Amino acid sequence: MTATTEITDFKVETPDGATLHAFKEGHGQPLLLVSGLSGTAAFWKDIATTLSRSFQVIRFDQRGIGASTRGDAPCDMELLARDSLAVLDAAGVGRAVVLGHSTGGCIAQMIAKLAPERVDGLILSASWLAPSRFLSALFGARLAILEADPYAYAAISVLSGYQPRWIEQNWHVYDDALEAAPVSEHAKIVTRERLNALLAFDGSADIGSLPMPILILGTRDDIVVPVYHQEALAAALPGCRRAIMETGGHLFPVSRPDAFTATVAEWIGEL
């Protein structure tokens, strides 16, 4: 029988009054997991179980999401990056590998710019450097859908995030998304400001001067953040490593967990 890693949860207070709910498990090289638009620690639950066999894994609900409160500060990528650094502080971690998926990859880029001395390695998964016309149009449309029908917003998030066959075989993910749809006014406000934050993000400035090792992950069938965004990141980051899978959709950490965790663990092991 495989031993179960103990999970410790802790709270993080921010200067503007938000309380962030965070978790850590495992031992070894610290690894901070930063989720995407959904902002939940739960996105990483199974991934963290696997990676905590080799690393000290830290994950958290971002402000206004899950068990974390919103606080008062205007939401942008810099604020979300400072929240992430506060989580590391509260965990007693000075330096960590930072892994961000999708919007989390934008947050991770900002962490690396704000505090490069705290980042041992940077993993940008299904992320982008600056919004293309496609990305702007897609997330702009999702903003409109959010206002008109939060259940449709939740449905589109799943239907565009995975391969159709995988959804058919894991239909509970669709049902769970509808159950967690942003129907309350608070949830709509938080989702709206997060969408606006990602649409406003442009990481082009000084990206090539980041000093830490960088791994870029993606899939060729991602229809949310197409692979040419990972190619643009790689072109802006001389010396980075790139690992692009053929299939898995946008949310490939969930749909291809074995390949995802193996790639991440191997790369961190070489640092």
User: Taking the model in full, what pTM does it have?
Assistant: 0.96
pLDDT (0 to 100) of residue 4 = 66
pLDDT (0 to 100) of residue 29 = 97
Segments of the chain assigned E as strands: 7-13, 19-25, 30-34, 56-60, 96-101, 119-125, 214-219, 241-245
Residue 16 main-chain phi, psi, to 5 deg: -95, 10
Mean pLDDT, rounded, of the chain:
96
pLDDT band with cut points at 50, 70 and 90 for residue 1: very low
pLDDT (0 to 100) of residue 5 = 77
Convert 68-84 into a string of H (helix), E (strand) and C (coil).
Answer: CCCCCCCCCHHHHHHHH
Rounded average pLDDT over 223-230: 98
Residue 218 Cα distances to 133, 224, 225, 246, 253, angstroms? 19, 11, 9, 9, 10
pLDDT (0 to 100) of residue 3 = 54
* pLDDT tens digits along 113-157: 999 999 999 999 999 999 999 999 999 999 999 999 999 999 999
Rounded average pLDDT over 74-94: 97
pLDDT above 90 (res 270): yes
**Identity of residue 88:** L
pLDDT (0 to 100) of residue 257 = 98
pLDDT (0 to 100) of residue 247 = 97
| Strand 241-245 with 214-219, pairing | parallel
pLDDT above 80 (res 61): yes
Question: 30: Cβ–Cβ under 8 A, 6 or more apart, which residues?
Answer: 55, 56, 58, 88, 91, 93, 95, 96, 97
Q: How many whole angstroms from its chain centre is CA 49?
A: 17
* pLDDT tens digits along 157-201: 999 999 999 999 999 999 999 999 999 999 999 999 999 999 999
pLDDT above 60 (res 58): yes
Rounded average pLDDT over 93-121: 98
The token duo for 269 is 């092991």
Distance CA 226, CA 160 (A): 12
* pLDDT tens digits along 12-21: 999 999 999 9
